[in-house]
Amino acid sequence: MELSKEEKQIFCEVADLFEIPEGAYNFRVNGKSVGKRSTTNIDVETKPNKSGLDIYIKKGTKNEQVHIPVAISATGLKEVVYNDFYIGDDAEVTIIAGCGIYNCGNQDSVHDGIHRFHVGKNAKIKYIEKHYGFGPGKGGKILNPVTEVDLAKNSEATLELEQIKGIDSTIRKTTANLADNASIFIKERLMTHGRQTAESIYEIELNGKNSVADIASRSVAQDISKQIFKATISGKNQCRGHSACDAIIMDQAEVHAIPALDAKTKDAELIHEAAIGKIASTQLTKLMTLGLTNQEAESKIINGFLR
């Protein structure tokens, strides 16, 4: 598998890959698969009628990983990819995705990834998705991921969603439906700068008895960038739901937090928290007394906040 320097950098940034990983994988570069492997317990199959993958994880699979990173280094490339994951009962698996765009031209490069997770009974998944953009061109680096999660009885999903830097425009939409005793935990980390825009949309349906949802978003908005955080949790049974948005706002940036809690029964316990503010001057002063410049102090605070 031959990759350019920029494509190797993307895979390092979004998937921590410095070499071919163990286990199942599919590497996608500029709209094509450049490497694919299945294992005894995980089948990675190319969709026959449209762009994307069907990934089947066998019942009872434990402690295995699937890597499906995407790299775009061709300016002007626009693609929509559909990936479906079928996780068997009692399986436990980690799925590492993510997409990076290197744009050196004047045309927009766009990747829209639609990921659907069908999680079986008593199964547990961890899904890691990082976004990253760079390059000297004036063309946009645009990512619009859609994540749909269907959780069966007693199953659990943990989603770690991170936008590292360099993405000019993104709309991230995540939906989930939970059955009895199912749980979903979502951790979002996001940074925008310049004229970048980012919108995060979460729609969670707590249909099952004793289902649980927790959404935690931390973001930093710099320069004149704009962020919108929308979280809707609907409780239709005895359930618990919680969402929290914590944001640092700097310069002339904008951050909008729009929570919605929809209780369909008296047994639904739903909570939302939001905090938006600037870096405290006392934090900056304390670090600067230790010898850091103002810029170094800001960077240290931001890195710690987004950790």
Most confident of 11-25, 140-154, 271-285: 140-154
Tokens of 272: 């939302």
Q: Check residue 196 and report its DSSP letter.
A: -
Contact 43, 55 (CB under 8 A): yes
pLDDT (average), residues 98-105: 95
Residue 186 predicted with pLDDT over 80: yes
Contact 255, 222 (CB under 8 A): no
pLDDT (average), residues 105-131: 97
Q: Check residue 119 and report its DSSP letter.
A: E
- The percentage of residues in the chain with a pLDDT greater than 90, rounded to a whole number, is 86
User: What sign does the CA torsion over 114, 77, 110, 93 have?
Assistant: positive
Residue 164 predicted with pLDDT over 90: no
Q: Which long-range contacts (CB under 8 A, 24 or more apart) does 26-29 make?
A: 26/53, 26/67, 26/68, 27/1, 27/67, 27/69, 27/71, 28/68, 28/69, 28/70, 28/71, 28/81, 29/3, 29/70, 29/71, 29/72, 29/73
In angstroms, the CA 93 to CA 222 distance is 36
Residue 229 predicted with pLDDT over 80: yes
For residue 267, what are the contacts with CB-CB under 8 A and spacing of at least 6? 235, 237, 238, 239
pTM: 0.94
E strands of 152-210, at which residues? 156-165, 169-178, 183-192, 197-206
In angstroms, the CA 190 to CA 221 distance is 8
* Helix, strand or coil, per DSSP, at residue 9: helix
Which pLDDT value is given to residue 228?
97
User: What sign does the CA torsion over 273, 279, 281, 286 have?
Assistant: positive
Tokens of 256: 């909008």
Residue 1 predicted with pLDDT over 80: no
Letter string b/e over residues 22-39, b meaning 16 or more CB atoms within 10 A of that residue's CB: ebbbbbbbeeeeeeebbb
- Measured between alpha carbons, how far is residue 136 from residues 132, 222, 244 in Å? 14, 20, 36
Beta bridge partners of 28: 33, 70
Closest CA to 124 of 149, 155, 89: 155
Question: Could you tell me the residue ranges of all domains in the chain?
Answer: 5-279
Residue 95 predicted with pLDDT over 80: yes
Residue 165 predicted with pLDDT over 90: no
Question: Which tens digits make up the pLDDT trace of 17-44?
Answer: 888 888 999 999 999 999 999 999 999 9
Q: Work out the pLDDT band at 178, boundaries 50, 70, 90.
A: very high
